Structure 1
């Protein structure tokens, strides 16, 4: 019972864009379909209901013209999805003629409520208000002034107390229609926000994967490029050194393939746990060894007491150091790079220096390395400073905050 009540009141059953009935109405209206089943059911209900409602009323008996009017209202409602304005004025005019002809009161006014609801929900509020207002005004004229000239001949002026009920019905129809319109707008806004959030998450995931692939491939291919050049230069004069270069190429390419496969696995199975842990600063010795294979000596200095880092911060720190060393291999003539890691309270600071000078050569980079480092740091609420040092060379400095509550 509680589950059912939750669905009726807009709980879990309405979480995907409103109640099922409203979603179906929206889909059919958007597709421009003619609502045959509901309109036929309404026509049958009006015909049968009017026969029962006519009993005890001192009104004109229901003849062929009256039955045609009862059918005409639902027939006009077939247009309520494509032409809601025509529909609401049509059913209002049909109901007015039916009432003016002196036929029995009954569910004929239900067609007006349906037409008004369709017009308001589809955004044609003024049309619905005008149609219902004109019908209400026409009812007042007929019930209190024109009844002398209209059938049935024995009809008297309607009591004014009856108009309170009629007015309340008119207000209730408009209020229900407006409530449905507001709910529809809220659902449409929620759907748009969900779609925008999905697009935003997709963009962020695409950017994350692009950064990962760039950092993995840029570093590994730079090492391969340097070692391939060494191997070609020493292939004839120093075969043993050339063999060492080829061994480094094999190792770097194998590592790159493994990391690329890990990134691609996340695309094939979104949300699945990675098969291998994400790299972190514990793999810094591997970077130092790979850099040594290219002829770059890396000195690592650590200040403060090392401690476990949050996974996101650990990965970002590793990638920043990796990209900075890759840029040294590509663009600097220095054979020495210094990496300084500072474990400060609530922060992790990185500094990568090389003595230069810049080679000025095109090493085949994409130019997105520094931008990727800044995006990684910004994603953690940190900053990146990168640029030439006053005494020559190049420096990359990163400041990454450790958020409270993260594992340390």
Structure 2
């Protein structure tokens, strides 16, 4: 789905990074290079559903070649590998690490399956305790910001680690942004989960809609047609609050040309004005919907769902399937990635931003305040976050925020 300014999609999933201060960084880099290899990524997709970032993973016989970084003649090194991947995938990850140790007998890996929040705590403790342990982490890209802004991550050689068939250009461009803004690459997108719009195509055809909407203008037109045909709002989105609703709004605002962190620049305001109008055609389910438990599409409760993170759920259990052999999750995800991607700004205060964005959502959409009040509601959340930063961080951070320093990571 393309917005009026761009068609960029929010990247969910995990990044891979290295803790700073490790005694043998080459050993850590060797593990990262192995995990970023096209063959490993393709196998990872088959087992976990996460979309590969290396172009070579989309071939029938992806390369198994891994760049040589830590020589076999080097002394034995130990690397701790933290991963926040789901419990269901632990046995698969363990097998991958076992195969790595067989290929690199002088690198021993200790795997720790741990939540992202606990990972942040443990790595923070290691760094502040002047540890020289070699630590590699696969962590949700929403949580890496705490470690990055606290200075706990090492700068990594992205070109050496990702020397496979080549990272998809839109994702590789994110590294360019890191270099230009942060002076180096501190995390690499590793496991992609991308939000997709899902529809009940039969229901759309029943209303005389023959093509799936690809722009927000078409979406609004179709929403009115569906409402008239079925007598109830047919567009569903996750409006239950928590982290999910602000995350969804983040993508809307970027596609309208906004900077969601600010709440109230021109693009942000236009996005919320559009959603305000579209909400007249929302399914009654939107107030309680959560992407991981969507079942209404399969049970004909609504006919369009904006959006679902397909790599994190069992789509079969939710009754969701492809309409034809070409509209697969992999194909649609790849098309979305090629259309442009971005990451949320890796700030340590993203939780407070989410809380305030959810308040704006509640006022504008759930409580249905007046259309004319949308700019002032968003401006009040901007002021609230600036005040929070001045109180809980310092005035310099608050001023940087107000000047637009914190923005989505987009390809250059």
Larger Rg: 1
Q: TM-score, normalised on structure 1?
A: 0.19
Q: TM-score, normalised on structure 2?
A: 0.19
Bigger relative contact order (CA 8 A; separation at least 6): 2
Please state which structure has a larger fraction of its residues in helix: 1
